[in-house]
Amino acid sequence: MAASRETSNGPDVRDVTAIMLAFEHINSCRLDLRMGIAGDQKHLSMRFELTAWPRDPESGEVTPLASAKSLTGYKDRRSVEVVITQLMYALDAQMAEEEFEKAAKTRA
CATH of the domain at 93: 3.30.160
pLDDT at 8: 61
- How many folded domains does the chain comprise? 1
What does pTM read for this prediction? 0.82
Beta bridge partners of 38: 45
Tell me the residue range of the domain where 10 lies: 2-107
Q: What is the mean pLDDT of residues 62-87?
A: 91
Q: What is the mean pLDDT of residues 43-59?
A: 89
Strands (E), the chain: 29-38, 45-54, 66-73
Q: What is the mean pLDDT of residues 42-56?
A: 91
Q: What is the mean pLDDT of residues 18-47?
A: 92
CA 24/CA 26 separation, integer angstroms: 6
Q: What is the mean pLDDT of residues 47-72?
A: 90
Q: Strand, coil or helix: what is 90?
A: helix
Closest CA to 66 of 41, 93, 45, 46: 93
Helices and strands counted in the chain (H then E): 2, 3
Which band of pLDDT confidence, cut at 50, 70 and 90, is reported for residue 3? very low
Order of strands, edge to edge, in the sheet holding 29-38?
A: 29-38, 45-54, 66-73
Which band of pLDDT confidence, cut at 50, 70 and 90, is reported for residue 77? confident
